[in-house]
Amino acid sequence: MTNRAEWMSGKRGLMVHYLPPLLEMRDGRRFDTVDEITSHFDLERFLADFDATGSEYLIFTFGQNTGLYNAPNPVIDHYAGPGHCSTRDLFGEIADALTARGKRLIGYLPCELNANRTLHAGFGWCTEPGGGQEVFQKRWLEVIRFWAERYAGKLSGWWFDGCYPWEVFHSDRLHWRAWYTAARAGNPDAAVTFNNGAYCADRIEPVNAGIDYHPGETTMLLDGLPRIAGTSRVYTPTGKYFPGSEILQHALLPVDAFWAHGSAIDWLNETLDHHPFVEPETLKQGEMEMPLYSVAELRRVSDAFRRAGGAVTFNVGIYLDGALGEASVAQLAQLG
């Protein structure tokens, strides 16, 4: 069977972490509810920036660890109560717009709720180590199935985060077949990956042989290639697929902010003796983090993966209104 991620081969994509309520307007305003926040998202402005980057696909967040999500989901409402999901179907609007452009969309969602305490009770998350999170898995897969069926062919894939060797939910306890089935409920060809930290954590081997493309998570570049877990080693793809597998090669890299605009990087300070990211408190009001790398460095990592037959995704900081960092958009546009 053809690899479900074959459409990513040779492509460059864009990722953004649109995470209510960790967002601000250029004037510094913030809002508390997911409906207030998503109502300010200027779809046309976002799409103009997306188009300018020359990206061929987008990885967009359903949500992460804040308990707020950018699309309606009655399963979350049922188990956790109202107020977690936006009334506006922001994810769906983006899906429609990209489909009309002939572009692809991948949904971002963690496969755990470790830091998402507002959902612990409703989804049966167990804080004791060693368990299989059976209740959580059953209920969270209902959430995934709903979105998979709702967006169907407009959702070309999933990037599941947090598939780590947690004490409270080790990655080897995932019911893999059930996860793949739920994720492909509306589109049997959806490309799925699970992120185990990849180059960020020196866990380069895929966490499961069934994934379609490598998660590729990269904290930073070294000489234009993914740096492995704070070492002086880099990863260079030698072919289209990860060695010994049919998993498409892929690198995912933040090019300005540390994944999300203004995000805290305390843990990074503790684990690395140096890094290129700006401390959030040093930013002025409305100031986006500037590009971290030269166009030549971005071109090197892009060429390394795309010419091998893989894919590369650049993550860019985003404001509450959907605007991206202007300098980063201009830089990506130079890649052609």
Burial class of residue 288 in the structure, from the number of CB atoms within 10 Å of its CB (0-12 exposed, 13-18 middle, 19+ buried):
buried
Q: Among 171-175, 264-268, 305-309, which is the least confidently predicted range?
A: 264-268
What is the pLDDT averaged over residues 288-306? 97
Whether the model clears a pTM of 0.95, i.e. scores above it, the answer is: yes
Tens of pLDDT, residue by residue over 43-65, are: 999 999 999 999 999 999 999 99
Give the H/E segment covering residue 14.
Answer: strand 12-16
Residue 315 resides in a domain? yes
Can you give the residue range of the structural domain that contains 300?
6-334
Q: What percent of the chain has pLDDT over 70?
A: 100
Q: Which residue has the higher pLDDT, 231 or 305?
A: 305
Residues 6 or more apart whose Cβ sits within 8 Å of residue 179: 111, 141, 144, 160, 192, 194
Tens of pLDDT, residue by residue over 90-149, are: 999 999 999 999 999 999 999 999 999 999 999 999 999 999 999 999 999 999 999 999
- Answer yes or no: is pLDDT of 2 > 80: no
Give the H/E segment covering residue 96.
Answer: helix 90-101
Question: What is the CATH number for 92?
Answer: 3.20.20.80
pLDDT at 19: 98
What is the pLDDT averaged over residues 257-284? 88
What is the pLDDT averaged over residues 19-23? 96
11 band by pLDDT with thresholds 50, 70 and 90: very high
Number of domains in the chain: 1
- Answer yes or no: is pLDDT of 325 > 90: yes
Mean pLDDT estimate for the chain: 96
Q: Among 13-22, 174-183, 258-267, 318-327, which is the least confidently predicted range?
A: 258-267
- Answer yes or no: is pLDDT of 1 > 70: no
Radius of gyration (Cα) for the chain, nearest Å?
Answer: 19
Q: Strand 250-254 and strand 225-226: pairing?
A: unpaired
- Answer yes or no: is pLDDT of 296 > 70: yes
- Answer yes or no: is pLDDT of 202 > 60: yes
Residue 1 resides in a domain? no
Residue 202 resides in a domain? yes
Q: Strand 250-254 and strand 311-315: pairing?
A: parallel
Residue 65 resides in a domain? yes
Tens of pLDDT, residue by residue over 215-267, are: 999 999 999 999 998 889 999 999 999 999 999 999 999 999 999 999 988 88
